[in-house]
Amino acid sequence: MILKAKLFGKVYSFQSVMDVMAKANEEKSGDRLAGIIATSSEERVAAKVVLAQLTLEDLYNHPAVPYEEDEVTRIIIDDINQRAYNKIKHWTVEELREWLLATTTTDYDIKQIARGLTSEMIAAVAKLMSNLDLIYGAKKLLVTKTANTTIGEVGRFSSRLQPNHPTDDIDGIMASVMEGLSYGSGDALIGLNPVDDSTESVKRILTKFEEFRNEWEIPTQTCVLAHVKTQMEAMRQGAPTGLVFQSIAGSEKGNTAFGFNATDIAEAKHLALQQGQVVGPNVMYFETGQGSELSSDAHYGVDQVTMEARCYGFAKRFDPFMVNTVVGFIGPEYLYDSKQVTRAGLEDHFMGKLSGISMGCDICYTNHMKADQNDAENLLTLLGTAGVNFVMGIPHGDDVMLNYQTTGYHETATIREILNKRPTREFEQWMEKMGFMHEGKLTSLAGDASVFLKK
Amino acid sequence: MVDKQEMKAMIVSILEEMTDPSSTESATKVVEKPINKQEEATVKEATEEVLEDITQIDIRKQFLVPHPADREGYLKMKAKTPARLGLWRSGPRYKTQSMLRFRADHAAAQDAVFSYVSKDLIEEMDFIEVATKCKDKDEYVTRPDLGRQFDDENIATIQQQIKGTPQIQVIVGDGLSSAAIEANIKEILPSIKQGLKMFDLDYDEKAVLFIKHARVPAMDKIGELTKAEIVCYLIGERPGLVTAESMSAYLAYRPIVGMPEARRTVISNIHSGGTPAVEAGAYIAELVSKMLQHKKSGIDLKEVE
């Protein structure tokens, strides 16, 4: 293992594999805040040069957090297919990159090998990829998952309808649900971030969602994004739970800060399969985002791209229906501007797909970040091209509860039209039946929520 | 072969076509003529009239769906949420008016973060101005750690200007919205003072600190430096699109650096559409008196109440 490289005659040496990983990252304010960023552009390239020649075995042997100390590391390592790993462990990261990008390498081929990749290997190869590499690489990777409906099929582009309300007013929430559905949003999920995290409140909203879904025979999933333990309690009390949600981190310490561990998630999944409303087999919904480990001081001095990849390694064990990287929510301390958000969105999507995850993205920004709606639309177009499974749908892109901006109902419809994509199969048929869509295009009824008031 | 003369004529004619719009008319004649005529007919000097302020439109009532199945029902349901609903579309895209309103609200939010509280206001209010270690707004938004620390010079200023050990030390900080301070501070300070009077309490309005590039935990350092019994800290909140003028008040009993967050009592959402400044001021005064009575703040105060 060589941790030194010469660039323009100057020797750069690195302390460890994780030091190389951090410094090989594209510039992120979070890595600077953590004090692990490359000190110059040249040092960044030198780190990439070193990283390119590390073998996958080097990365296997140097996980971000030691195996003995961390549940997430154990899950990642223990879930590796050893036969697949042994086939590729002598590859360098450079070789992995070029094999993934080769025209002759298919989705089928990649899936054989991907079972032998740890999250650290996946993060490493992403660090050697340009933005277009990340798009091209991800585009090959088809990940389909089934709950009530199937997400991620070729030619499909889905969205989570996010009908948030500052006081959880049920009529206000349903107004957003109705309008979103008429635009074709919500085929991945109708999912509310509640203000009130109590079991009673979660039950009340889930029950309303399920009544409405039944009344209009809508082929989709629902979820109230309370803490996993609150959702479990709601399920035990008979709530018609759809997907079960939890925010996750790339280390056990980060997950502890979120108030759960792997056993809780396994139990929640079991409960959802037993008592939930969703057919499955995929019943879980996770959210992630670069920088969350650093914000809870659970990053172990490791860069935010590597920690993010580890979230997917953890998520994979529970075979989720969807994983959403909330890419610009955390603020400029971690992702400074639209350039860094764009890069992070493309990295996360690629890494998630290579991990075998049904990956989507909340393409968003806060008002103290140097970004605007044009930047969100740019990343949306890039991710649409890369084959992202789903994005968010919010009235006019403005979340009136979480006070940030993301993609609106209109964006889902626009990307479908530009890229010739459709909602999930069953949802598309439902839209045709309702008269909101005809041959993939919105009809004159689309955008009229009051269609649902007629009954 | 084209000779030199002909070539010259050609160049002249090309140049003419490029510069003189009248010679390019041939192809676009039909379309252009009427437009030109119309322009002639309607060309007017700019008047003194002002276009309607789109930011004054009540989004809850704005309704652009042309042929709704149930207009009344739609409006009723829309009134239940501040979400931007019923704004229709052009093709799959937004209508111009709703798009412009969104951009206006975002512009206000961004300006609130990246602008400064005006010098005039600081002078007018007679604030003692200090700054945290952040050198500019960029460093402020990326380095939360520096937004709570002061250099030696600023520490000296605070120690010189704040005499004795105040019972109630009022601080104002720009935080993530200068607009919030500009919009609320002139109303809330007299209201706090008035409210405190009811409890026979007071603060020194000549000793109000203004902190530039301020994060919430900066109040802890001020608490240590002034040894104040109560620190009352008014700071701009991270703006949303609904309002950029929302301010918070953080109060703590004898705050110290590194104390748990749970020791702060917070009143958020202070703005004309939330808790109005005057009302918030009265509430703050009441809280201050309770804190002095129980010698506690935050969760500790809630527990004894």
Partner residue opposite A179 with nearest CB, options B82, B85, B142: B85
Residue B93 lies in a domain: no
For residues A361-382, give the mean pLDDT.
97
- Whether the predicted pLDDT of B12 surpasses 90: no
For residues B92-121, give the mean pLDDT.
96
pLDDT at A448 (0 to 100)? 98
Give Cβ neighbours of residue B69 (< 8 Å, ≥ 6 apart): A448, A450, A451, A453, A454
pLDDT at A175 (0 to 100)? 98
Model confidence at A362, in pLDDT bands (50, 70, 90)? very high
Residue B241 lies in a domain: yes
Residue B196 lies in a domain: yes
pLDDT at A197 (0 to 100)? 84
Q: How far apart are CA A165 and CA A201, in angstroms?
A: 13
- Whether the predicted pLDDT of A417 surpasses 70: yes
Residue B162 lies in a domain: yes
Residue with tokens 């409210």: B195
Which residues of chain A are within 8 Å of residue B236 when distances are taken between CB atoms? none
A171/B83 Cβ within 8 A: no
Give Cβ neighbours of residue A147 (< 8 Å, ≥ 6 apart): A221, A242, A243, A278, A279, A280, A282, A283, A321
Q: Is A401 or A433 the better-scoring residue by pLDDT?
A: A433
Residue B18 lies in a domain: no
Give the number of other CB atoms < 10 A from CB of residue A73. 24
Nearest CA in chain A to B85: A395
Model confidence at A306, in pLDDT bands (50, 70, 90)? very high
pLDDT at A277 (0 to 100)? 93
Nearest CA in chain A to B103: A373
Model confidence at B22, in pLDDT bands (50, 70, 90)? very low
Question: Lowest mean pLDDT: which of A2-6, A143-147, A375-379, B263-267?
Answer: B263-267
Helix/strand/coil for A310? helix
Domains in chain B: how many in total? 1
CATH code for the domain in which residue B241 is found = 3.40.50.11240
Chains A, B: CB contacts within 8 A come to 137
Model confidence at B9, in pLDDT bands (50, 70, 90)? low
Residue B189 lies in a domain: yes
Tell me chain A's radius of gyration from C-alpha atoms: 21
Residue B59 lies in a domain: no
- Residue B147 Cα, gap to closest chain A Cα (Å): 12
- Whether the predicted pLDDT of B39 surpasses 80: no
Print the domain residue range for B240.
114-304
B92/A413 Cβ within 8 A: yes
pLDDT at B11 (0 to 100)? 55
- Whether the predicted pLDDT of A336 surpasses 80: yes
Nearest CA in chain B to A448: B68
Which residues of chain A are within 8 Å of residue B80 when distances are taken between CB atoms? 169, 171-172, 175
pLDDT at B25 (0 to 100)? 43
Residue B283 lies in a domain: yes
**Interfacial A residues in 44-83 facing B (CB < 8 Å):** none
- Residue A35 Cα, gap to closest chain B Cα (Å): 12
A396/B84 Cβ within 8 A: yes
Model confidence at B3, in pLDDT bands (50, 70, 90)? low
Measured in degrees and rounded to the nearest 5, phi and psi for residue A156 equal -110, 145
Tell me whether A392 touches chain B (CB under 8 Å). no
Model confidence at A296, in pLDDT bands (50, 70, 90)? confident
pLDDT at B23 (0 to 100)? 44
- Residue B191 Cα, gap to closest chain A Cα (Å): 28
For residues A233-257, give the mean pLDDT.
96
pLDDT at A144 (0 to 100)? 98
For residues A168-188, give the mean pLDDT.
98
Name the pairing type of β-strands A284-288 and A244-247: parallel
State the average pLDDT for chain A.
97
In B86-199, DSSP assigns E strands to: 128-131, 168-173
pLDDT at B42 (0 to 100)? 67
As a dihedral over the C-alpha atoms of residue A406, residue A408, residue A411, residue A412, rounded to 10 degrees, the angle is: 100
- Whether the predicted pLDDT of B30 surpasses 50: no
Model confidence at B164, in pLDDT bands (50, 70, 90)? confident
**Interfacial A residues in 143-182 facing B (CB < 8 Å):** 163-166, 169, 171-176, 178-179
- Whether the predicted pLDDT of A329 surpasses 90: yes
pLDDT at B299 (0 to 100)? 86
pLDDT in tens, A154-169: 999 999 999 999 889 9
pLDDT at B304 (0 to 100)? 86
pLDDT at B10 (0 to 100)? 57
pLDDT in tens, B251-303: 999 999 988 888 999 998 899 888 999 999 999 999 999 999 999 999 889 88
Model confidence at B15, in pLDDT bands (50, 70, 90)? low
Helix or strand holding residue A158 (H, E): strand A158-161
- Whether the predicted pLDDT of A421 surpasses 70: yes
**Interfacial A residues in 14-43 facing B (CB < 8 Å):** 29, 32-33
Residue with tokens 């030091």: A19
What is the maximum span of chain A, computed from C-alpha positions, in angstroms? Answer: 76
Model confidence at B27, in pLDDT bands (50, 70, 90)? very low
pLDDT at A202 (0 to 100)? 96
Which residues of chain B are within 8 Å of residue A446 when distances are taken between CB atoms? 89
A449/B86 Cβ within 8 A: yes
Most B CBs within 10 A among A183, A398, A404, A415, hence the mutation to make, goes to A398
pLDDT in tens, A68-86: 999 999 999 999 999 999 9
Residue A219 burial (C-beta neighbours within 10 Å; 0-12, 13-18, 19+): middle
Residue A272 near residue A284 (C-beta atoms within 8 A): yes
For residues B105-118, give the mean pLDDT.
95
